[in-house]
Amino acid sequence: MRAIDKHLLNALDNYPYSLNETIESLEYALSYDDKNTMAICLMGRIYAEQLLDYEIAKEYFSEALSYNIHALEVYPYYIDTLILNEDFEEAEKLIEFALTVKGLDKVNILFKKAWLKEVLRDFKSAKKVLKEIKLLNCNAGNDSVLEEFNRRIDNKIGKKKKKKTK
């Protein structure tokens, strides 16, 4: 195993429980290869998830994809960051592109698309995406998430209808 891989695995193993060790391992990994997309992605995650600095996180994710457009590990976290930062148009474009990337977990990306539609209060579109997820899903672990998502959207649709009738 290469030294960079050991440092990268150590960083992934420590995240998010030991941020100092994570950062130290990442710095070592990036000193071996400053274009390693997994290390850059993890640095972006630290900025997004721990420091809540979405702008810097976006820079890291964008940098990683500039080195390798097929860096599968980047897309889910980049999309999350865009949605949390309210960069909705950019998130929509990235989701649509991500769905064309070979090898990427399409169901996971579609969950993010449904979440985006929910945030935008486009509940009808969110329901359509959830139906698509139901057709594509081959992982029983996603079933409870799908049920909960459907329930949450249904509750919001119900509340929206009640407001209109008042």
The CATH number covering residue 40 comes to 1.25.40.10
Last residue of a domain, one of 65, 85, 104: 104
8 A C-beta contact, residue 91 and residue 79: yes
- My answer on whether 19 and 75 are in the same domain is yes
Q: What is the pLDDT of residue 161?
A: 66
Q: What is the pLDDT of residues 31-77, one digit of tens each?
A: 999 999 999 999 999 999 999 999 999 999 999 999 999 999 999 99
- My answer on whether 90 and 12 are in the same domain is yes
- My answer on whether 117 and 96 are in the same domain is no
- My answer on whether 12 and 26 are in the same domain is yes
Domain around 112: 107-166
- Range with lowest mean pLDDT among 1-10, 53-62, 91-100: 1-10
Last residue of a domain, one of 104, 130, 155: 104
Per the structure, the count of domains in the chain is 2
Last residue of a domain, one of 104, 125, 143: 104
Q: What is the pLDDT of residue 144?
A: 95
- My answer on whether 27 and 9 are in the same domain is yes
- My answer on whether 134 and 100 are in the same domain is no
Q: What is the pLDDT of residues 102-161, one digit of tens each?
A: 999 999 999 999 999 999 999 999 999 999 999 999 999 999 999 999 999 999 988 666
